[in-house]
Amino acid sequence: MKIFITGVAGYIGSHMALELLERGRHVVGIDNMVRGSQNALDVLSEFSTFTFIRMDLSGDIERIFQRHSIKTVFHFAAMASVAESFKMPMMYHRNITRCTQRLVDAMIAFNVGNLIYSSTCAVYGQPDSLPITEMTATEPTSPYGVAKLAAESYIKSKQSTTFTAQILRYFNVVGARADGRLCEARRLLDHRVLRGRRPPAV
């Protein structure tokens, strides 16, 4: 059985993929490479157990489940800039909420029952008290946070005895691997945002 990773050339996705590959797992990863790292792909491609498919989640993801025996999905693919989301709220809704809905529906249709979803602390907005816990009210103040929370809600609504999900809300994921093989590449994203480029769905 294989593990499917969306956004595999991204920061968190590539680190997760490398960890799994080093443990002898078979990984099938997709990324549209609008914001993905070619260096990350080069590192992952050193493993014969890694399969990369360049595509969006708006594409034919059903084909992946037809061709590969997938056991678990790690869903990392998403645009991830609070500032940018205010400029393109509908793009963030399509990229995050609708693409997540498509992925979940495809998983259920092909009996893939395990999802790990990459969410964000942005779903909390500006809480009245600290520290934030899982019991803190979710009141997002950005289109990015709203889109992520809507995706979370859809995932939760689909959970059953045959489809389970774990949702991870990150706070400022930073750093690099100790061996230096993978690290952050924020400069590329910042230039693209400043140039006003409108990426397609991830």
Closest CA relative to residue 8, chosen from 74, 97, 103, 65: 74
Is 144 one of the annotated active-site residues of the chain?
yes
Does the pTM surpass 0.85? The reply is yes
CB atoms within 10 A of CB 96: 29
CB atoms within 10 A of CB 161: 6
- Supply the pLDDT for residue 200: 43
Q: Which of 124, 144, 154, 170 is the catalytic position?
A: 144
Walk along the chain (202 residues) and give the pLDDT tens digit of each residue: 999 999 999 999 999 999 999 999 999 999 999 999 999 999 999 999 999 999 999 999 999 999 999 999 999 999 999 999 999 999 999 999 999 999 999 999 999 999 999 999 999 999 999 999 989 999 999 999 999 999 999 999 999 999 999 999 998 888 888 888 898 876 544 434 434 444 444 4
- Supply the pLDDT for residue 186: 61
